[in-house]
Amino acid sequence: MGRKILFITTDQQRYDALGCNGGTIARTPVIDRLAAEGLNYSRAYNQNTVCMPARSTMISGQYVRSHGVVMNGIPLPTDGPDVAAQLRDQAGYRTALIGKAHFEPASAPDQSYFENFAAREDKTGPHRGFERMELAGHTGRAGRSLFHYPKWLAENHPDAVDGFFEYVTEKKEISSRGGGDTELAQLWHNEMPRELYHTEWVADRAIAWLDSLPEEEDWFLWMSFPDPHHPWDPPASELHRCPWRDLDLPDFYPESPEKIVELLDRKPRHWREWYEGKGQFNYEVPPLFRPNTLTPDQVREVNAMVHISNELIDEACGRVLDRIDARGWGQDTDVFYTTDHGEMQGEFGLLFKGPYHVDALMRVPMIWRPAPSAGVTPSAVADPVGHLDLAPTFCQVAGVSTDSRMEGAPLPQGAGSGRERALTEWDSDYLGNEIRMRSIYRDGYVCTAYEASNYYSGEEGELYDLNEDPRQWTNLWDDPARAGLRSDLLADLKDSLPAPRPDPLEAVALV
């Protein structure tokens, strides 16, 4: 027997959501323990700040411009590198993905992709290297894609289905409506029992799959939780965990509209235009939501809901890890934990995510607890790493060669690796607003270049000193004293990115 791999992902979770990363509200003892016993990467960055590009990088080990999924709605090609297929074919691993996949668009008009029809046709794979896939999204309602979870809920607990927010994005009034106590868009009090919620279902199905395996098998399990992504509707029975009225406003919230506008005016113009509802720049935001209507109480309530979701995820992880130990696999199991991207949660007076390259969205939790039998010394690692390093690390753990097309490298097992940079990109054209951004994190700075498009001239950008300005409130792009630094970072960015693929892929849907 070799080392097993449990890969845990969440969706839209901030770096500081966890206690091990400075979070002080949500209780996350299970994940904190993994960090204390393993390697906690404090400067991990995604390669794109929305779901499909980020997840495609995780499975392929490639930059976004290489695998081609530059935005939501583009299906990941099946002829590229695929770490699940490698582990299965080259090392005999049993493979499964339980929860949210999102390598294929949920809203594909003809519903022709596996993720669209698998549950409807009672199929669970094989697909993309996974011998088993059981899919969940952000709701228990049957939507455009009937995933396995809403189908299971409708067939077994039909009375619970309507507890979820009606997440129908093509109907503007429905997808933008408010709920909860403060009437915030996509916040909802969900009266379904906790044990039926998708967080619990993902853990239940992960345990069931593990229990189906013989003791001697090696396995790779991607356990992918849909939370704490909006809509924010965890079970109402859990609201007592974090009463929103008792919360202080987060330190990153600017508090006053005047301060928000002052900060946004230091950034390229689409920041303030989004805040004021004068422009929309990505599909993943409710179409009628206007950030300048966000109230301090709404910031408190949405943060409370996120903290609750994060606690439920932590407890679900604990159940699965306990089962792994009970099966006798604990000493030989590597555990990885990350998310696809972050969430504003009131930072800069904003919610949701999009073409905004700041730590709220780019910086992600990343933890690797190597199998105890491997004898790796626990460490906090500040060297920059990224999602594209995960697949090569899985290959290393499994003892197989990295696919030569992968562009990441195995994660360092301590400080001093010599790594210098992490890169993040954005390409989209939504409602005629074309935004193209390239960012580099290096030496404590984040530098973002805006390429020429129908929206920007190509001279705009952002530069932040994270040591002096961790909230990224002061844009140094036009600071004459930083001109040399800016030029150096931009040259490094240009030299470090691979060439874009010669055959750009087309979106077949919006999400």
Once rounded to an integer, what is the mean pLDDT over residues 38-56?
98
Task: Give the residue ranges of DSSP H helices in 4-63.
Answer: 29-37, 51-60
C-alpha 429 chain-centroid distance = 21
Identity of the amino acid at 236: A
Question: What's the pLDDT score for residue 143?
Answer: 74
- Residues in a beta bridge with 335: 6, 369
12, 230 Cβ separation under 8 angstroms: yes
**Measured between alpha carbons, how far is 46 from 386 in angstroms, rounded to an integer?**
6
Q: pLDDT grade, residue 306 (50/70/90)? A: very high
297, 182 Cβ separation under 8 angstroms: yes
C-alpha 124 chain-centroid distance = 23
Q: Is the pLDDT of residue 168 over 80?
A: no
Identity of the amino acid at 164: F
C-alpha 30 chain-centroid distance = 19
Classified as helix, coil or strand, 465 is strand
Residue ranges with strand state E in 26-176: 39-41, 44-45, 94-99, 132-135
**Measured between alpha carbons, how far is 39 from 294 in angstroms, rounded to an integer?**
37
Question: What's the pLDDT score for residue 144?
Answer: 65
Residue ranges with strand state E in 444-501: 445-450, 461-465
Question: What's the pLDDT score for residue 211?
Answer: 98
Question: What's the pLDDT score for residue 174?
Answer: 78
- Domains in the chain (CATH in brackets) are 4-496 (3.40.720.10)
Question: What's the pLDDT score for residue 169?
Answer: 58
The secondary structure element, H or E, covering residue 152 is: helix 148-156
**Measured between alpha carbons, how far is 213 from 219 in angstroms, rounded to an integer?**
9
Biggest CA pair distance of the chain: 64
105, 508 Cβ separation under 8 angstroms: yes
Question: In this structure, what are the phi and psi dihedrals at residue 135, rounded to the nearest 5 degrees?
Answer: -105, 140
- Residues in a beta bridge with 81: none
Q: pLDDT grade, residue 171 (50/70/90)? A: confident
Q: Closest Cα partner for 511 from 354, 388, 383?
A: 354
For the stretch 436-459, pLDDT in tens is 999 999 999 999 999 999 999 999
Identity of the amino acid at 90: Q
Does the model's pTM come out above 0.85? yes
Question: What's the pLDDT score for residue 253?
Answer: 97
State in Å, rounded, how far the first CA of the chain is from the last one: 40
User: Computed from CA positions of residues 166, 167, 170, 176, in that sequence, does the dihedral angle turn out positive or negative?
Assistant: positive
C-alpha 171 chain-centroid distance = 25
For the stretch 204-247, pLDDT in tens is 999 999 999 999 999 999 999 999 999 999 999 999 999 999 99
**Measured between alpha carbons, how far is 361 from 451 in angstroms, rounded to an integer?**
20
**Measured between alpha carbons, how far is 217 from 339 in angstroms, rounded to an integer?**
27
Q: pLDDT grade, residue 510 (50/70/90)? A: confident
Query: What string of DSSP letters covers 211-228?
Result: HTS-TT--EEEEEEEEEE
147, 135 Cβ separation under 8 angstroms: yes
- Residues in a beta bridge with 9: 224, 338
Question: What's the pLDDT score for residue 273?
Answer: 97
Complete edge-to-edge strand list for the sheet that includes strand 39-41: 132-135, 94-99, 219-228, 4-11, 333-339, 366-369, 39-41, 379-381
